[in-house]
Chains A and B, each alone.
Chain A
């Protein structure tokens, strides 16, 4: 398994760049993961999405449905894609340190 330096520490990632140990995640890791997704600066809106994904994952051990993500954060689908160009699954979940969502290829 490949290792990359994110947030100043070596992190194990899969072939699509998702981190393998959710406990290794912190804000520094998120900022560096965001850059791999074309997000140079994490704004308050980016954090709103990432923090919700993370809280949901820690409670339910899975990513929320996209509609739930939109309703809870108040962002339209298009706005989520404006924030994370590769989308909620491949982009936002990756930055939030979640495992690769089911079927995400």
Chain B
């Protein structure tokens, strides 16, 4: 895995860089930021959505369901004590022509994407302050 670096841009906005790509994460103006990009929690949701979409798109292409694209909509349910994501609701839209009886297979496959598996079985996070 390549190194991911996070450096300050301005205010509470930070640039995330990996493999020459850059994404800015910030808070909304209401939460004290300048709204320069998605919040870290929104990026988490987007990460799951992208991972699910990639898995399902690959399945659809392998099985010839190419009349349209896969799309994912999701939202986060927040929880308090401590403040965190309490739930994630994910809708997956499929290309035309996917048989009804295949949808459960696709749902189970979406659950096996690496980001979902990571959320289901959380990794050890080892933080050291230097």
Q: Could you say which of A78, A81, A103, A105 contacts B77, with CB atoms under 8 Å apart?
A: A103
B46 to A: closest C-beta gap in Å: 14
Binds A, one of B12-20, B78-86, B101-109: B78-86
B6 interfacial by beta-carbon distance below 8 Å? no
Most buried by B among A70, A88, A102: A102
The yes or no answer to B118 lying at the interface (CB within 8 A) is no
What 1/0 mask marks residues of chain A from 88 to 103 whose CB sits below 8 Å from any chain B CB? 1100000000000011
Per the bound structure, the CA–CA distance linking A70 and B89 in Å amounts to 10
CB neighbours (8 Å) of B73 from chain A are 76-78, 81
The answer for the CA separation of A76 and B80 in the assembled complex, in Å, is: 26
Q: Does A10 count as interface, using CB distance less than 8 angstroms?
A: no
Whole-angstrom distance between the Cβ of B80 and the nearest chain A Cβ: 5
Q: Are B78 and A102 in contact (CB under 8 A)?
A: yes
Main secondary structure of the interface of B (DSSP, over half): strand
Interface size on A, residues (CB 8 A): 15
CB-CB under 8 A from A87, the residues of chain B are: 75
Q: How far is the CA of A78 from the CA of B75 in the complex (A)?
A: 9
B101 to chain A, nearest CB (A): 20
Q: Report the bound CA distance from A1 to B26 in whole Å.
A: 30
Contact of B91 with A76 in the complex, beta carbons under 8 Å: yes
A88: which B residues are within 8 A, CB to CB? 75
Q: Which residues of A contact B77 (CB under 8 A)?
A: 65-66, 89, 103
Least CB distance from A76 to B in Å reads 5
Alpha-carbon gap, A81 to B76, bound state (A): 13
Contacts of B78 in A (CB 8 A): 89, 102-105
- 8 example contacts (A-B, Cβ-Cβ < 8 A) are as follows A65-B87, A76-B93, A87-B75, A89-B78, A103-B78, A103-B80, A103-B84, A105-B83
